[in-house]
Structure 1
Amino acid sequence: MAIQENAPVGATLPVDGLSRWEQIKVFIPMSRESVRQRELAGRFPKRQHLTKRCAVWSNREIHKWIADPQNYRAEGA
């Protein structure tokens, strides 16, 4: 996994599990709105809603996106 420049030293994203925006934003070099737009276009992993106000992303899908953001396509997009 490539670590973005704004990620704290030693920061890692677990391979398994789910993460909220606050946990993944240090690895994503764009704004939350840009992520939302890419989600709608199928170019970023889709979020899952645990509750009405709690959204999470699959860590495995985030790792796939980090490995190849230009060619990533969300399943079912």
Structure 2
Amino acid sequence: MQPHRGRRGLPAPVSIAFYHRLGRRGEVYMVMKSISAASRRTIRRQQLREIVPLADSTIFEMEQRGEFPQRFYLTSRCVVWDQSEVEQWLDARRAASRAKAVKLAPTPDVRLRRANPVTQ
């Protein structure tokens, strides 16, 4: 597999993340961890709407049931999703749909409706 290439054929940038670790005596050490920018891309709500054509309330309910990737907060007002998790979810839904494993909603019985019932 070829390494990911960014613009102009150069390798994709690698970001450095810092996190704290406690030593044996309780000292806090700053540890550097490199994360590939291509593998850790996040998307905001508007970008998610472009990828997944579901209502916000539907996405929220599916998150609560554990059927959709969980959102997380970058700041107190900025909510994002991990793009790779969303793409994996879409691939899984596509595979389930092709395998006929998705339960479809039942069609309504038009003879039972109050306004303009169909009579035969």
TM-score > 0.5, shorter chain as reference = yes
Instruction: Determine helix, strand or coil for the equivalent of 2:54.
Output: coil
Q: In structure 2, how many angstroms separate the alpha carbons of the residues matched to 1:49 and 1:63?
A: 19
Higher relative contact order (CA 8 A, sep 6+): 1
Question: What corresponds to 1:50 in structure 2?
Answer: 74
Question: What corresponds to 1:62 in structure 2?
Answer: 86
**Equivalent residue in structure 2 for 1:35, among 37, 59, 67:** 59
Q: In structure 1, how many angstroms separate the alpha carbons of the residues matched to 2:83 and 2:50?
A: 13
Residues 15-68 of structure 1, C-alpha deviation per residue, up to 9 Å, x if partnerless? 640000111211112101100000010000000101111100001100011112
TM-score, normalising length: structure 2: 0.44
Q: Which stretches of structure 1, 4 residues or longer, exceed 2 Å deviation after superposition?
A: none
The number of aligned residues is 58
Q: Give me the CA root mean square deviation.
A: 1.9
TM-score, normalising length: structure 1: 0.66
- Which of 1 and 2 has greater Rg? 2
